[in-house]
Structure 1
Amino acid sequence: MAQNRTLSDTTALTEINFDGLVGPSHNYAGLSLGNIASASHKGDPSYPRAAALQGVAKMRRSFTALGVQGFLLPLPRPNGALQDALHLDGSEAAALRAAPWSASSMWTANAATVSPAPDTADGKCHLTPANLITMLHRAQEWEDTKAQLEVAFGDKHHFTVHDAVPSTFGDEGAANHGRFCESHGGEGVELFVYGSLGGKFPARQHEQASRLVARGHGLAPDKCVFIEQNPAAIEAGAFHNDVVSVVNQRVLFTHQEAFADQQGAYDAIRAKFPALQVVEVPSSAVTMAEAIRTYLFNAQLITLPDGTMNLIVPEECRESPSVWAYCEEMMASNGPIRKVVPVDVRQSMANGGGPACLRLRVVCDPATVDPRFLLDEAKADRIEKVIVAAWPEQIDPSDIGSKVLAKDVIAARFTLLEALELQSLA
């Protein structure tokens, strides 16, 4: 499908996970309607330093396992432009005061939708930043996200970075997107999952946003599948599809109640990708409520260099008798997922973000990425040193809006930019 591609182009392609570094303003303001974890931890003290170090530890493990790992930086906070637009004077609701401080850009699964070069008409990797219009604290992100993507993926021979889709249609990025393929560097079939409007909680991904992204990326209609998420799952707290399913190559790891028409979803995918392997977790083994509480599906399903697949899950999964019993049974079977690896991302989990939320998957040649956004051990050491020295240890709800904290947060981020020679993003 893609034109003018050579064999050397495709053989250099690999999947890179770009994790979001947790920002120094990480806090629990409970701004995300429909996010059970966010609501239940509203008003708790947060620990930005611990959160950021947990994230770097997760990246180190991925780098060791896969040999390549990327990262994206915290966005500028507090957002002065949004503060001005909200005319904050101290009389406003706490949620409005907190919105410009949101560090939610750490969840890079919402940063953009990515279509690799083998799927697109022009043979380039296309990235469309998510507009995230459903929530004020996230709708502020996309322009700064785009600016960062344009630096990280600035090689215009290999990448195209689009504007977000029009704000008429809510788009939440890769959290509602997946890609089936025989190999990451080969041609794939892209899955777009959308929600129906009018439920108890907002359906954040609009069908037309998904279709617009697909057209903008130059995807052929026979290489796209559009599926509706189960409205009951959204009402239960699965505000993104990646809370109830995850895709890797041939495998769809999914809850039995993930889609509005479960069997119809499988049939629609198989019609375009016959090699589909479904690993369906029955409700009798793991209830929807427990899947959401533990984020079993908000996991990284990765292919190791030896071709086996590991599922990277939150520690909360190991602490759940029903979830861990299922995982042990799955590991003992002859299925495609051979190992389940728990990681500690508790600070992120408390705000509704598991291992999958923290990463954006980009299939590309690492040599085409700005090297400042690629991790190695020395760079991880450098990042950790800045976090330990500059990130606040704790933020209490009463701290939000503090001029002293604002000064510290701004200085901490700039110290990180200097350490990574990315001051242009200040």
Structure 2
Amino acid sequence: MNFFEANFDGLVGPTHNYAGLSVGNVASLSNAKNSSSPRQAAKQGLSKMKALHDLGMVQGVLAPQERPDVYTLRRLGFTGTDAQVIAKAAKQAPAVLRAVCSASSMWTANAATISPSADTHDGKVHFTPANLTNKFHRSLEPVTTGRILQAMFRDPAHFAHHTHLPDNDHFGDEGAANHTRLCSAYGKRGVELFVFGRYAFDSSQPAPKRFPARHTLEACEAVARLHGLSGEHVVYMQQNPDVIDQGVFHNDVIAVGNQNVLFYHQQAFVDTQNKLNELRRKFGNETDLHLIEVKDSDVSVSEAIKTYLFNTQVITLPSGEMAIIAPTECQESHAVSSYLAALVQQHTPIRHVHYYDVKQSMRNGGGPACLRLRVALSEQEKQAVNPNVLMNDALFSTLNQWVDKHYRDQISEADLADPQLLDESRSALDELTQILGLGSVYQFQQV
């Protein structure tokens, strides 16, 4: 049976803005309060999706969240009509309004953790939405994310869906941004690598001092239990606290893996050699495992963060060769572009680099890897996926027309207080659920 990895990219929402909400994310903070272009952002994302589809990859679309989130504003004591609720929040708590307008669900690497059927106890693909408790604006996502994933992966014969972990920082879960699966082939049992920032119940262990460690070991262990993973095929690695304090808020800013390749920075992890030895042992055939370490002398941590060298996608092309999907910021950096040019000449599976413009996302702190959720599937499992969410020429054209119809060209911070923005967003999402065949996944559709 044929197995492959599908990428489901987050469709940028109509309220895409630069509010600088993500402490610890250097790009997000440095572009705070600049004007954004939701239309351009959505089209850049769609162009990347179409490009991967054209490369022969299975590419899907994951719908955005409803924003502004007036339901949360009501929970926080703002009353009246929707327009009055937004007006009161803008006047009394503008920081809260900015948070409930966030389009951060575009970064679907944080949507969930997925384990493929080859790894799980019951032979199903398992999904656990991330609770994202560390950031208020992202903690609003998991319930709707769960609904959207269930509307995409409906068939209980193939797919198992779990409720997100308890909404508490002890079980802070940032999803697939801190999860990598290594395997000899997508259809064979692999090693699932869970990366965490801190121990929730042991304060004596190392932890960052400047920026928060968002993901806990305990959350990793809980997801592994929920998915029925074998302990002999799981590795837990701690992210280096020093790089978190430099702005590496997720592991996918400092390391990325695909099949038998782990591409990582010299400073990425704690106890690196012992953990890599464990990874080699559990992987099995060590000669087939490629551990590509980028030295400080080649690319510094600061340059890796600036260009998102590791927030690239490493994909396996239909030819069997691997390619890196990188933002144009990598191409514009002499150190990074030189490194990548040399990398594809070395004896590793990575033979190609493709550059794409996702600047609207990059300025808010998310590169190509942030924008996609990876799901390894068999051909039979793919047939059970909601077909309306899979990219093709017709869907690409339809979604571009949908963006042109509904999205503003620019949004500033002041625009978030415009009650018309909520009406525009709801109108867009209502039409989108029909295009993607999702049903009534949004709260406003269920009233």
Do both proteins adopt the same fold according to a TM-score greater than 0.5, normalized to the shorter chain?
A: yes
Displacement of 1:334: 2.7
| Unaligned residue ranges in structure 1 (runs of 5+) | 1-10
> Please, which of 394, 401, 426 is the counterpart of residue 385 of structure 1?
401
Distance 1:170 1:320 in 2: 34
Cα deviations by residue, 1:319-366 (Å, 9 ceiling, x for unpaired) = 001111111111222322111111110000001100000000001231
**Number of residue pairs matched?**
416
In structure 2, the residue matched to 1:137 is 137
Q: Note closer, same or farther for the CA distance 1:243–1:98 as it changes in structure 2 (3 Å cut).
A: same
In structure 2, the residue matched to 1:100 is 100
- Aligned pair 1:416/2:426, yes or no? no
Instruction: Confirm or deny: 8 A CA contact 2:146 2:163 kept in the other structure.
Output: yes
In structure 2, the residue matched to 1:41 is 31
In structure 1, the residue matched to 2:112 is 112
- Aligned pair 1:153/2:166, yes or no? no
Displacement of 1:209: 0.2
Q: Give 1:164's aligned amino acid.
A: H
Distance 1:334 1:223 in 2: 26
- Aligned pair 1:205/2:215, yes or no? yes
Q: Give 1:247's aligned amino acid.
A: G
Cα deviations by residue, 1:365-401 (Å, 9 ceiling, x for unpaired) = 3101111211111011100110012111100111112
Instruction: Confirm or deny: 8 A CA contact 2:208 2:241 kept in the other structure.
Output: no
Displacement of 1:404: 1.8
Write out aligned runs for 1:254-293 (5 A).
254-273=264-283, 274=286, 275-293=288-306
- Aligned pair 1:425/2:407, yes or no? no
Displacement of 1:58: 0.3
Q: Give 2:188's aligned amino acid.
A: G
What SS is found at the alignment partner of 1:200?
coil
Cα deviations by residue, 1:205-245 (Å, 9 ceiling, x for unpaired) = 11000000001100000000000001011111110000000
Cα deviations by residue, 1:189-210 (Å, 9 ceiling, x for unpaired) = 1000000245211111110000
Instruction: Confirm or deny: 8 A CA contact 1:27 1:47 kept in the other structure.
Output: yes
Q: Give 1:380's aligned amino acid.
A: F
Displacement of 1:93: 4.0
What SS is found at the alignment partner of 1:171?
coil
What SS is found at the alignment partner of 1:214?
helix
In structure 2, the residue matched to 1:347 is 360
What SS is found at the alignment partner of 2:355?
strand
Cα deviations by residue, 1:13-55 (Å, 9 ceiling, x for unpaired) = 3211000100001000010010000000000001000000000
Instruction: Confirm or deny: 8 A CA contact 1:269 1:276 kept in the other structure.
Output: no
Displacement of 1:412: 2.1
TM-score (norm. length: structure 1)? 0.95
Cα RMSD of the aligned pairs, angstroms, is 1.3
Distance 1:330 1:305 in 2: 20
Instruction: Confirm or deny: 8 A CA contact 2:151 2:438 kept in the other structure.
Output: no
Distance 1:149 1:406 in 2: 23
In structure 1, the residue matched to 2:318 is 305
Q: Give 1:236's aligned amino acid.
A: Q
Cα deviations by residue, 1:76-98 (Å, 9 ceiling, x for unpaired) = 11112111123343444432111
> Please, which of 164, 176, 179 is the counterpart of residue 178 of structure 2?
176
Instruction: Confirm or deny: 8 A CA contact 2:324 2:353 kept in the other structure.
Output: yes
| Unaligned residue ranges in structure 2 (runs of 5+) | 79-87, 199-206, 443-447
In structure 2, the residue matched to 1:236 is 246
Instruction: Confirm or deny: 8 A CA contact 1:13 1:366 kept in the other structure.
Output: no
TM-score (norm. length: structure 2)? 0.91
In structure 2, the residue matched to 1:367 is 383
Instruction: Confirm or deny: 8 A CA contact 2:6 2:57 kept in the other structure.
Output: no
